[in-house]
Amino acid sequence: MSSEKVHVRSHGCMKPYNWMQVGTWILLPLLLLQFFFFASPLLPLAASIPCSIVVFFFGILTAYKAIKTTITDPADSHLQKKKQGANFTDEEKAEEEARYCHHCESNVNNNAVHCNICHKCIEGYDHHCKWLNNCIGKKNYQLFFDTLVSLNLFLVSQSAVLIGIIVAFFVGWDDGQTSSTEQRAIDWFGANQPNVVIGLNLGFLTIDLISEWLILQLLFFHLSLRRKGLTTYQYIIKLNETNRIKAKHQRQINDRRAHHIKKANEEGNSWEKMKLVVGGWKGCGCIDPIRKEIKEEDEAAKVAAAKAASRR
C-alpha cells in the first residue's frame, strides 16, 4: 500500500466538488424562483395560494432530503468506531475478521465496498451519487430514495401548473379575445410583455418535463431493485456476470459455426454452408443449426444430470 496520505471524505459537502453537484444546487432554487415570479402571478388568487403551497412544500422537502443524504456519512460502522477510538467486543472482533480492507487498513462489514472517490469503505454500498457528491449506502439509502420520490412529486406538481397556465393563456386566441391568464401576463409587474412571460414558463416546463422523465426512470429502477432485494452495485455485478456468460456462449457458437462452415466447404456442401451462414444472422436463430445442436446438447446434459441425481 502507498505511503501517500489519502484525503478521506466524510460527506458530500467536502471537497472536491463536481459540476453535477453544483448544478443541482443551482437548478432547484432556480425552479422555485421561476415558479414564484413567473408562474404563480399568472394564476387566479384562489389557485395561486394552494398551488404555490404544494409546489414549495415538495421543493423544500426535496432540498431537505437531499441535504440530509449529502451530509450523512455512510462509512462502514467499524471504520467509524475505529475513528472514534472505541473498543470492540469479542463478538464484534470475531465478526470483523471476515473482511479486511487494505485501503482503509481496517476490518469492515461483509457487505462493505471501498469507494475510490470517497476513499473509504461504505456499508451496504449502493453507488456513488455524483449529483449529491456522496456515496449511497445502508445509512443514507432511504434518504436518497425519499429524495427521488419528493423530487418526482415536485416536478410533477410544477409541470402540471405550468401546463395549465400555458393552455389557459392561449384560450380565446381563435376568437381574438384576451384570456384572463393572458391579461395577468400583460399586467405582470407592469412590464406588458406577455409573450416573454409565457415563453419563460414554456422554457422551464421543457426543463421540468425532461428532468421528470429522467428522475422517473431512476425512481422505477430503484423500485425494481428494492423489489428484488438488490443494491445498484449488486445489480451491476450481476449484469456484468450475465453479459460475460452470454459473451462466452456467443464465442462458443461463433467458433463452432466457423468449424462447421470450414467442414462444409471441404465437403462441397453449399446448402449446409448457406444454412450455417444465414443462421448466424440476427433474427434467424430459429433456423440456426448450431443453436439447435447446442440446445439439444444442453437438454441431454440436463437429463443425464437428473438421472445421476436420482441414483443417489
Q: Which residues are catalytic?
A: 129
Crossing angle of the two packed helices 194-228 and 232-267, in degrees rounded to 10: 80
Residue 131: closest CA among 206, 211, 59, 54: 211
Residue 92: closest CA among 103, 79, 101: 79
How do the residues of the chain divide into helix, strand and coil, expressed in percent and rounded to 5?
Answer: 70, 5, 25
Residue 185: closest CA among 207, 170, 204: 170
What are the DSSP E strand ranges found in the chain? 100-101, 106-107, 112-115, 120-123, 127-129, 134-136
- Give me the helices (H) in 85-140, please: 90-96
- CB burial of 222-239 (b: ≥16 within 10 Å; e: otherwise) equals beebeeeeebbbbbeeee
Residue 204: closest CA among 19, 38, 52, 20: 38
Give CA–CA dist 213/12, Å, rounded.
25
Give CA–CA dist 158/209, Å, rounded.
10
> For residue 246, which amino acid is it?
K
End-to-end Cα distance, the chain = 50
Residue 137: closest CA among 120, 129, 125: 125
